[in-house]
Every structure is written in C-alpha cells, then in structure tokens.
Structure 1
C-alpha cells in the first residue's frame, strides 16, 4: 500500500515539474544583473539623501550659533621693571623733563591758568578732624577749636595765592595759653589754622604764588587806622615738611588816641607743604600780644606731624 501511494506522489511531482520550463542561463544572468543595478541605484539614492540632510542640518546649526570667529592675536607683553627696582619717593624723586615734578602731571607754562585740571584719584577731597594737631595740655586754653569760614591769610594787597589750584580747604580758630599760666589767665594768642588740598603736583605753585604775593605787598593800610600801615616781609625758613614759606606782619602799637606808642605788634605766618597738602599756621595774637617764636615753631612741627599721620 505504501508503495502505490509513493509511486502516485512521484508521478504527480514529475507532471508538475514538466509543466514548468526552466529559464535559460542567459535569462538568469540578465535578471541577476538587473537586480544588482536596482540595489546599487537604491544605495546611491540613500547616500545622497543622507548627505543632503547632513548638510542642511549643519547650515542650520551654524546659523543659530553665535559668531565665534577668533579675534586679533594678543599683544606680546613688554618687559616691565625688574623686581629689584625700588619705587621712587614722591617727596625726593628728581623732576622729569616733561613735568618739572614727579608723577604724571600735564606740562604747563609757569603762571598759566590751571582751573581745567582735575584732582587724581589719590587726591583727598575731604579733610577729617584728625588732620589737625592737638595742643599740649600745658597750652590748652580750654576753649576748644572752632571750625569756621573766613580768611586763612593776612591781606596781601588783593592777591589770592593758590586759589586756582585748590581742591578743598578746612580752617579753624584755636586760642592757646602760655605754659604755666594761671587757670584764669587770658589766652596768650590765637591761631588761624587751615589745611588745603591742591590738585596733583600744583601745591608748590601755591607756595610760589604766596612768596610772590608777600614780596609784592611789603606794606598795606590798616582799615580802621588812617595813616597806619602793616609791614610784611619774608623770613628764611627750612626744616618743615617738603618746603615752607614764613613771613611776618608788623603793626605799630598805638595809644588810646591811635597815635604810635613805640614798638610793633608782630605776628608770624607759616605755610608748610606736604605733598599736595598745605597747612597754614597764622598766629593772630590776643589783645595786642605778639607771637612767641618758640611756641609757634613747636606748634608748626605738630601741624606737620598731624598731616603726615593723616596722609600715611
């Protein structure tokens, strides 16, 4: 039974195979070549699509990104001063040809207006109480000092030395007594003490103008005494601050009728420069007293030291 069924199946297979004619070898080759060309064309198309997409994406990213084009190359640093170079002291350094002083000061013609100059960032614009000296206990009159506006120099025939270079100024009146005086004794004198800050490098011009103003005003009238004059003259002075100007004023003593009674009432004025700061000590007396030079010199040194501590 198995043999008959198997033979029947073989016959059906043979009949089915005979009806299907196998293609010739040339036909099979042409069909294979066509399929190969189709696969190659499809692969090339795929690559082109990928390349086009990548290029478009790149253009979009570059358009959205900020400009990162490199700037100019950094400048090559120049060699600076050696580590062993010591900074120069403004008070002792020699003048430079372009300025006539140490520091970056614009060149100018002596005596030319300087109102357009500006103070540097290091120039003080305020003057604290600690910049003013304190009297020793033996000379303290117990009245304290009073910061008030008013003249800081005697009249100099209308001259106003240093005003064009001024940044700020503060002044006080300070009575003092002689050492060992009784508690109820009147003061021995009174100071008009001022501190002025000048534009960078111009404080020496203020002192030069002061010297010239005193020299140009050897005498001046006393406003409330017709026919009476004040004599003014420069005195030699060294050893105070960077430089100083010292001068005196002399007024004849007068009796009750206003007539000269013999002798002079003498007062001293000293202007001391410390960098761009000038302190002026003007002793004005008290009830016709004259300046005592020893006390005046000692208080001048105290004034310089107080300014030095303030600026340190």
Structure 2
C-alpha cells in the first residue's frame, strides 16, 4: 500500500518540524482556564439565587386580573297594575280587579236562563210502518222545504229567537194495500223544533191565533183555502189544518179535481213537531194514515226526551 505509507511519512516529517511549547507556558495557560471556569460558576450561582428570590413574588403577588366585559342582561318591564277607580267621595281610590277571564271559559257569557243549542238526533223522528214504507225514509231536508207555505212567511218562525234546535226529514209512504213496487202515495215532511222553557207553549198559542185568521192564500200561483179541524189527542197541544186547492194537469194548469192535504202541529213539552203531507202527483192525504203517523211521531219524541 504505497499511498498510505507515503502519507504517514509526510505526517511524520511535518510533526518533526513543529516547535513544542515550553512547560512554563503550558502552566500559565492552564491557570488562566481555571480562573475563567470559577468565575462562570459564581455568576451562574448568583443568577440562580436571584431566580429563587423572585419566584415567590410571582407566585404570591399575581398581576391584577384583566376586567371582563359582561353581556348586558335586559331589564324586565314591570307589568302595569290596573288603574284605580275614583271614589265618589274623593277618598282613597280602590284598585280595579284584574280583567283576565277565568280559565276554561271562552266567548261571551250566555244570558241568564238561556239554554245551550242542542242537536236533534234522527231517532227523534218517526219511521213509517213497514206496510207503508218506501225507499226514502227520514232523509234530511232543508227546513224551508219541509215547512208549508201559509198566509204569512213567519207563521212557523215567529219565535225563532227562542229556538235552540231544529231539524227536518222527509219520508215517502204508500197505502198499506198498494204493492211494494208501486209509486208512492205521498211525501211526508216532519220538522222538530226545540225551544227554551215556556217558548213552545207561546208558539202554539200564537200559531193557533194566526191559523184561525188564515182562510185563503196563494201557494205559489195556486189559490188555496185552509180550515182548522178538531185536533188529535196527542202531545200537550195539537193543531190540525187542512188545505184545499185544485189539482194541476201536465201543463201545470188547474183542473176541476180538488186536492186536500193535512198539516199537524203538536207540542210535546218544549218541543214542537210539524207533519206536512204534500202528496204525490196530485194525491190527497188519507186522514187515518196521517193520524197514525202523528201518533208515531209523538211516541218517538217522548222516547228521545
């Protein structure tokens, strides 16, 4: 390995040419290094002692806290108290009571003695007997259609301010001897009206007076006469009316044939029912059938009440 040998030879020659320091010079350099080390250690100790002295002040005397910016809280608005009512003699006014309505109430109070409205069920109306029954039985009908036209428009509605419920139905019926598939013999309208206490009796009295003076009127364009018959013995009060008018031909013109139809008004307590037989294509009422229907109507109302 000639290269490595040559390099060691060069290094040896270079070292041989360097001058070595004398012993005295080496001792002075060592003393100077020792003094420098002692000075550095002393300075470090001084710094450590100062740090220990300052630390308690930092621990036990912290700087004042930075003020916190709070969130503003809205101030509740006080509820105004009711105004005081002045006294006639000028004395100390008395505070008015609160006007808040009691819990569970709504709407204006009812007048004293005024009954609440009622719903009249279908069971309160009579059903024609099976041998007279047709397909339509107790079909709900408008009140204006069910009540007959008489001398005045308000004869059946004059006391409606005291009415608390009204409902009307219609039933087709046949004669007992007619086949089941035969055309109806008539259409019977029944109206039930419930009144406040005592108003039903007042209605009957006023209606009887009005009916007694109603001898003739126009039912549409048809001249009609009316008479009062002895009433049936059903209910608390009853009025029986019979109208008479000419029958109409296919063109709507009067004929020599007369049509008589019955109207029965019966009171049962505070309830009034009206049975209005309007016939079927010019038929007249059958008194026995209408009497039977009236009896059944009063029975149904009594069972309902």
The TM-score with structure 1 as length reference comes to 0.57
Displacement of 1:209 after TM fit?
2.0
Separation in 2 of the partners of 1:204 and 1:158?
20
- Structure 1 unaligned regions, length at least 5: 1-115
Residue 274 (structure 1) aligned to one of 265, 268, 274: 268
Q: Call closer, same or farther: CA 1:284–1:219 in 2, change over 3 Å.
A: same
- Give CA deviations for 1:266-312 in whole Å, capped at 9, x if unaligned: 1111111110011111111011111000000001000000001111x
Equivalent residue number for residue 219 of structure 1: 216
Q: Call closer, same or farther: CA 1:172–1:117 in 2, change over 3 Å.
A: farther
SS in 1 for 2:143: coil
Equivalent residue number for residue 94 of structure 2: none
Equivalent residue number for residue 158 of structure 1: 153
Separation in 2 of the partners of 1:286 and 1:265?
11
SS in 2 for 1:306: helix
Contact 2:138–2:170 (CA<8 Å) still a contact in 1? Answer: yes
Deviant stretches of 4+, over 6 Å: none
Cα RMSD (Å):
2.2
- Structure 2 unaligned regions, length at least 5: 1-110
Is 1:252 the equivalent of 2:246?
yes
In the TM superposition, 1:1-312 aligns within 5 A as 118-120=113-115, 125-151=118-144, 152-156=146-150, 157-159=152-154, 160-223=157-220, 225=221, 228-256=222-250, 260-311=254-305
Deviating more after overlay: 206-215 vs 248-257: 248-257
Contact 1:162–1:209 (CA<8 Å) still a contact in 2? Answer: no
Larger Rg: 2
Contact 1:272–1:278 (CA<8 Å) still a contact in 2? Answer: yes
Separation in 1 of the partners of 2:251 and 2:118?
48
Separation in 2 of the partners of 1:117 and 1:187?
48
Q: Call closer, same or farther: CA 1:233–1:165 in 2, change over 3 Å.
A: farther
Displacement of 1:128 after TM fit?
1.1
Equivalent residue number for residue 16 of structure 1: none
Displacement of 1:242 after TM fit?
0.5
The TM-score with structure 2 as length reference comes to 0.58
